[in-house]
Each structure stands twice: as C-alpha cells, then as structure tokens.
Amino acid sequence: MEELAIFGGKPVREKAIYYGRQCIEQDDVDAVVSTLTSDFITCGPRVKDMEKQLCEVTGAKYAVAVCNGTAALHLSAMAAGFGPGDEVIVSPITFAASANCVRYCGATPVFADIDNETYNIDPECIRKLITPKTKGIVAVDFTGQAVKLDEIRQICKEHGLILIEDAAHAMGTKYKGQPVGSIADMTCFSFHPVKTVTCGEGGAITTNDEELYRHLMRLRTHGITRDPSEMAHPTDALWYNEQVELGFNYRLTDFQAALLCSQLKKLPKYTKRRKEIVKLYDEAFADMPEIQVQKEIPESDTTRHLYVLRLHLEKLSCTRRQFFDALYAENTCPQVHYLPVYWHSYYEKLGYPKGLCPNAEAYYESSMSIPIYYSLTDEDVNDVIRAVKKIVAYYRK
C-alpha cells in the first residue's frame, strides 16, 4: 500500500491545487485597462453594458449590477418586503449570506432540510414549514444545480410567497432549457473569484418584474431617485434628485463591469470545461462504494461550480477530518461547503437547535469539495482522482 503524504509518503503532486480559482486572460486585462483611462470609472456605460449582457445570458428582462453577491441578496430581501415578524424559508447548506440577508431585514430564517442525493432544498420539507408568517423562500442552486423550480414556484403560488433564487453557484445553468436568472421573482448572482465568472467582487440581481427592478435600482443608490414619478416633490430642475427611502451605496465600478463583460463572453467555454471535469470525476468515482456521486436531476443542465466528494464513512476506517487532511497533504486541496448555516455560533445564539435538519447535518459531516475550475487540466484532475483513490485504498474497511 502506498504511504499517504500525511504520514511522510510522497505527495501525489508537488504543487498544490485548490478547490477553485479564477481565470484571467489578456482580453480580460485589456478590457479593464481600457476602462481605467476612459471617461467613467464608475456609474458609466460599462455597468449598463454588463446589465444588458446579463439579460442576454439569463433571458431576464432586467438586471441590476451590484458590488457583491451579498448586496444582491440584501437588496432582494428588502425589495421582497421582508421585515420583523416575517418568516423566510432558506436552505441550511449554503454560504451564510443566503440567510443573513433575511436577518438584515429583521425577518426570521427558517431552515428547510435538503434532499439526500441532490443536496438541494427539498420542496416537501419547505411545505411542512409554511405558516401564516411565511413571506418568501431563498432557494440556493447548490454546486450550480438548479433547485426544483417548478415545485418551489408552485408552493410560492399557492401561498403568495416571493421566491429569491440564490444562483451564486449557477451562472450558466438552465432549468428545463430556460437559463437560471429568468425564472424566480429575483435571482442573485455573485462574481467572487471562485465563482464561474468573476470581476473580483461583484454581483447582480435579475428579474422580469419592472416594479422590483425600479425598486432595486433605487436601493442600490441610497434610495435616491431621479425619476419625477417616484418623487414626493417632483420638479423639472436638472440637478434635483430625491431620497425617497433608505438605501445603500452598493454600486459596482465600470472597470469591474468591463471585466465581467469580458468574462461573460467566455461563459460557454467555461461551462464546457466544467462539464468535462464533472464527467471525469463522476466516471472515476462511479464504481467506488465508498463515494457517493451527486445526483443530477434531468431538469437541470448544470454549469457546475463545486464538485462534492461525499464519503460513505461507514465503509472507511477514518473520519471526514482525517480524509480531508490526507487529501490536503497530497496537494490536491479540498474545502468544505458548507457548515449548516444554523451551526454558526451567531445562529446558535439565536436559538436554532442542533438536529434541526438531519440530512443537512449528515451531508456536512461526510463531504468536501475537490478542485474544479476552468484552467484545471486533465492531468490535474487525474492527480486529484489518484489522491482520492490512494486515500480510499488506505482506509478501506
């Protein structure tokens, strides 16, 4: 048996690779540099271009560019009208921001358990949690796979709920042939460097609802409007603008928008490569009983952001922690996505008990994400597979 690197053996590879990284090419650099010397570096034409391009890619009527994905979620929650006393149903297996946006508005996140095979929020669990206080759902397309949008939209329709789709992982994904971004009431994207397309920090909300769009645009800039029809004291004075509610400065710069435009043009090739990597991993792990491959629902044509390695720990003589550390030592560095949101001590202090979502907790305790990104070569993927197989062979019961 090969000695694991963690016990002094030779690591599978010399140079470490991580679970995600950006791909910035010369055309991206040129787009940013040319914007820096243009007339506008913020509030200019590139932000408009980016919003137009987002509408083209997602098929949504409207897009609002903002400074990060969390800001997109915050403004969506505000535009949805969430407030104190309201309950909003959220997936527990997500980045904390998906629930924090509900807290920002003073509303209460209610965590619905996930499906054991897709790891996405389970519509049946959502149904069980609906009360007269329920106002909306924040559904997360975890790893990039679309949630069961038909079922969830049906629940929203029956109970008059607003659906916010957290598609931070899902740029490029289609549901029943329709791009994510044009389906929920509001869809939020993140353009952080680990996501499929990036502009450093950035985000966006897409919607087909003109009223929500106008509200989001206003909230992005302090709650200030230049549209007389939205003012309490309209005038035709050229300088006049009016703050009609409390908003934020969540704007994106033009050079970031230029970077995102450049990246979005390359989305098809990013999608293609991510799908190839998923296929290589799926094939390598398909016949290994120690590993559970994530189930794909046929409705979702997925641009995968994360590749989850889920362990059947009962078939291994190691813990998740030992497996993770062993993989790390082989220089094929994983990460864990995510701690159930309500296990964070902030949420624990709010009174959410352990055991709330058993599937989510079991998922967390047996999973890690392995490298997947555009510039990962077949050789890199094979290194990761070799490392996983080496560790499984070592700990196999």
Ligand X SMILES: *Cc1c(COP(=O)(O)O)cnc(C)c1O
If the CB atoms of residues 80 and 387 are measured against ligand X, the closer one turns out to be 80
Contact status, residue 375 vs residue 21, Cβ threshold 8 Å: yes
If the CB atoms of residues 140 and 217 are measured against ligand X, the closer one turns out to be 140
Amino acid present at 189 = F
Q: Which of 68, 143, 182, 262 binds ligand X (CB under 6 A)?
A: 68
| Among 141, 133, 119, residue whose Cα is nearest residue 305 | 141
**In angstroms, how far apart are the furthest CA atoms of the chain?**
80
Question: What is the distance between the alpha carbons of residues 104 and 364, in angstroms, rounded to a whole number?
Answer: 25
β-pair partners for 203: 66, 190
Window contacting ligand X (CB under 6 A); options: 11-19, 78-86, 165-173, 356-364 = 165-173
Residue 307 has phi, psi (to 5 degrees) of -115, 115
Window contacting ligand X (CB under 6 A); options: 33-41, 50-58, 166-174, 247-255 = 166-174
Write down the least CB distance from residue 309 to ligand X, Å: 18
Residue nearest to ligand X (CB): 69
The answer to whether 208 contacts ligand X (rule: CB under 6 A) is no
Window contacting ligand X (CB under 6 A); options: 13-21, 163-171, 243-251, 378-386 = 163-171
Write down the least CB distance from residue 103 to ligand X, Å: 14
Write down the least CB distance from residue 176 to ligand X, Å: 22
Residue-wise burial string across 218-241, b where 16 or more C-beta atoms lie within 10 A, e elsewhere: bbbbbbbbeeeeeeeeeeeeeeee
The answer to whether 168 contacts ligand X (rule: CB under 6 A) is yes
User: Which residues between 81 and 140 bind ligand X (CB under 6 A)?
Assistant: 94-95, 97-98, 140
The answer to whether 70 contacts ligand X (rule: CB under 6 A) is yes
Amino acid present at 270 = Y
The answer to whether 69 contacts ligand X (rule: CB under 6 A) is yes
Write down the least CB distance from residue 166 to ligand X, Å: 5
Contact status, residue 282 vs residue 308, Cβ threshold 8 Å: no
Write down the least CB distance from residue 239 to ligand X, Å: 34
> Would you state the structure tokens that stand for residue 219, as one six-digit string?
């909230």
User: Which residues between 215 and 254 bind ligand X (CB under 6 A)?
Assistant: none
Site string for ligand X, 21-60 (x = CB under 6 A): ----------------------------------------
The answer to whether 169 contacts ligand X (rule: CB under 6 A) is yes
The answer to whether 165 contacts ligand X (rule: CB under 6 A) is no
The answer to whether 4 contacts ligand X (rule: CB under 6 A) is no
Window contacting ligand X (CB under 6 A); options: 63-71, 78-86, 173-181, 254-262 = 63-71
User: Which residues between 184 and 203 bind ligand X (CB under 6 A)?
Assistant: 190, 192, 203
The site that binds ligand X (CB under 6 A) totals a number of residues, namely 14
The answer to whether 65 contacts ligand X (rule: CB under 6 A) is no
The answer to whether 292 contacts ligand X (rule: CB under 6 A) is no
Question: What is the distance between the alpha carbons of residues 377 and 276, in angstroms, rounded to a whole number?
Answer: 10
Window contacting ligand X (CB under 6 A); options: 66-74, 145-153, 206-214, 367-375 = 66-74
If the CB atoms of residues 121 and 385 are measured against ligand X, the closer one turns out to be 121
Question: What is the distance between the alpha carbons of residues 63 and 53, in angstroms, rounded to a whole number?
Answer: 9
The answer to whether 74 contacts ligand X (rule: CB under 6 A) is no
If the CB atoms of residues 142 and 394 are measured against ligand X, the closer one turns out to be 142
Residues that bind ligand X (CB under 6 A): 68-70, 94-95, 97-98, 140, 166, 168-169, 190, 192, 203
